[in-house]
Amino acid sequence: MTQTIKKNERYTVDIIDLSYEGLGVAKIDGYPLFIENALPGEQVEILVVKAGNKFGYGKVENWLTTSPDRQEITSNVLLRTGIAPLAHLSYDQQLVFKQKQVEHVLAKIAKMPEVTVQPTIGMEEPTGYRNKAQIPVRRVEGELVTGFYKKNSHDLVEIEDFFIQDPQIDQAIIKVRDILQRFQVRGYNEEKNEGQIRHIIVRRGHYTHQMMVVLVTRKEKFFKAKEIAEAIHEALPEVVSVIQNINEEKTNVILGEKEKVLFGQSYIEDQLLGKTYRISSKSFYQVNTLQTEVLYQKAIEFAELKNDDVVIDAYSGIGTIGLSIADQVASVYGMEIVPAAIEDAQFNALTNKIENAHYEVGKAETVMKKWQEKGIKPTVLVVDPPRKGLDARFIDSAIEMAPERIVYISCNPATFARDVKLFAEDGYKLEKVQPVDLFPQTHHVECVGLLRKG
């Protein structure tokens, strides 16, 4: 069939599905259209805003019917910026949507339609949960503006209430922006790669309330930097660390290599499952503290720990998973690619008086191979990789090492399904899968699975 749908045409369509990104899906003679703010079961009048060869995008102009699963949104920018692309769907249905995503990939990619996926564990209060924000700063008509980009663009929309962030962080961003304005710091101009302040990053410990402010600047020379940092501390007494990160490049990557402490320490602390952790600016830390505790508890339950277990905590970050279980097992080995995170993990082991945890910097696939050659024999392997999942070489080494149980924590169901299929081909059985909602109001899906050696 030749495609006849064109940009700027209007249609009335029925929404038949929700894409994995949370867009409504409609079909006209088999041609799929993806539509923001449209839910399955709704009939809508749309304007075609983009029409490619295989699919297009539409914009709702009028709802003829609305779904009973629709909920009020505080602002349309939540959808338009992609901050909270599911904010218009009731929270119960968001949880069902995530469970279905995992079921779908397990059937399609892993070819395991028989595996039961538990209902997603959600939050009681599914807003204001993020403990970290990375906010772009621009100069508009002489004023500094903070907000977020419209999806697939670099148009900044001014936002003060980010809905899913700790409200104290929202407040901090406004205060920091106003201080920068007062000191006449120039906002970054992306096109010209001019100006100074690019991003404001704020992290706040969920339990400790310690705050870190990172000012990402284009130039190392930062006029009145110390006074600005002092002013930030004065306006925000929770701040224990102000850092300047320098990023001179014309790039989408937020952080540069070089950093300077402008005020206080180079880290904040927080707690997880009763243990204390130091978190440096460049270290990964899960953004939803309460749900991370729920996720880790599930992972620990799945691991069926015994006191003679040897555990590998792969992709360890600052050591939070391994150190949570170290006192229940014989030993823990962790590895991670970011040197600052491994320094934090070693420090965290000391702080929590843990002596049986060993950490190494490096790529998981390289370190795993080395440990395999050294003869380390884990009984339990915990993996928590980034979105791209496990490297095939990592899986090969893991299979050689033959742990009895593998607990796989994943932030991307598609690569999770791909990887569990590879483990299954070598005799591991996927026994249980539990999605935990770490990212309410967004389309991001987190799950934990248990693989057992047959």
Binding-site residues for S-adenosyl-L-methionine: 286, 315, 336, 384
Asked if residue 378 binds ligand SAH (CB under 6 A), the reply is no
Active-site residue identified among 115, 211, 411, 448: 411
Among 320, 348, 415, 434, binds ligand SAH (CB under 6 A): 320
Among 244, 316, 412, 442, binds ligand SAH (CB under 6 A): 316
Structure-block tokens of residue 35: 């539509």
Asked if residue 286 binds ligand SAH (CB under 6 A), the reply is yes
Asked if residue 222 binds ligand SAH (CB under 6 A), the reply is no
Q: Residue 76 Cβ, how far from ligand SAH at the closest point, in Å? A: 32
Q: Residue 363 Cβ, how far from ligand SAH at the closest point, in Å? A: 4
Q: Residue 297 Cβ, how far from ligand SAH at the closest point, in Å? A: 13
Binding part of the chain for ligand SAH, among 29-37, 109-117, 280-288, 432-440 by CB under 6 A, reads 280-288
CA–CA separation, 435 and 122 (whole Å): 9
Asked if residue 284 binds ligand SAH (CB under 6 A), the reply is yes
CA–CA separation, 287 and 369 (whole Å): 30
Neighbours of 84 (CB within 10 A): 23
CA–CA separation, 141 and 358 (whole Å): 53
Among 337, 376, 402, 422, binds ligand SAH (CB under 6 A): 337
Establish whether 447 is a catalytic residue: no
Asked if residue 343 binds ligand SAH (CB under 6 A), the reply is no
Lay out the sheet containing 446-453: strands in order across. Answer: 357-361, 331-336, 310-314, 380-383, 405-410, 446-453, 428-436
- Count the site residues for ligand SAH by CB under 6 A: 17
Among 166, 270, 384, 446, binds ligand SAH (CB under 6 A): 384
Query: Is the CB of 36 or the CB of 259 nearer to ligand SAH?
Result: 259
- What SS3 class is residue 382? strand
Q: Residue 336 Cβ, how far from ligand SAH at the closest point, in Å? A: 5
Query: Is the CB of 196 or the CB of 289 nearer to ligand SAH?
Result: 289
Kindly state the DSSP code that residue 328 receives in the 8-state scheme. Answer: G
Cα Rg for the chain, rounded, in angstroms? 24
For residue 198, give the amino acid letter: R
- What SS3 class is residue 351? helix
> Sign of the C-alpha dihedral, residues 222, 227, 229, 232?
negative
Neighbours of 360 (CB within 10 A): 15
Residues comprising the chain, all counted: 454
CA–CA separation, 440 and 129 (whole Å): 8
CA–CA separation, 209 and 128 (whole Å): 14
Asked if residue 317 binds ligand SAH (CB under 6 A), the reply is yes
CA 75 to chain centre: 22
Q: Residue 348 Cβ, how far from ligand SAH at the closest point, in Å? A: 11
Binding part of the chain for ligand SAH, among 200-208, 282-290, 324-332, 415-423 by CB under 6 A, reads 282-290
Asked if residue 254 binds ligand SAH (CB under 6 A), the reply is no
CA–CA separation, 82 and 90 (whole Å): 17
Among 129, 315, 359, 416, binds ligand SAH (CB under 6 A): 315
Q: Residue 328 Cβ, how far from ligand SAH at the closest point, in Å? A: 17
Asked if residue 336 binds ligand SAH (CB under 6 A), the reply is yes
Sequence-ordered list of residues with C-beta below 8 angstroms from that of 252, at least 6 positions apart, any chain: none
For residue 24, the cross-strand partners are 18, 35
Structure-block tokens of residue 410: 């994943």
Asked if residue 348 binds ligand SAH (CB under 6 A), the reply is no
Binding part of the chain for ligand SAH, among 62-70, 132-140, 283-291, 433-441 by CB under 6 A, reads 283-291
Kindly state the DSSP code that residue 431 receives in the 8-state scheme. Answer: E
Among 386, 387, 392, 425, binds ligand SAH (CB under 6 A): 386
Q: Which residues of the chain form contacts with ligand SAH (CB under 6 A)?
A: 284-286, 315-317, 320-321, 335-338, 341, 363-364, 384, 386
Q: Mind telling me the catalytic residues?
A: 411
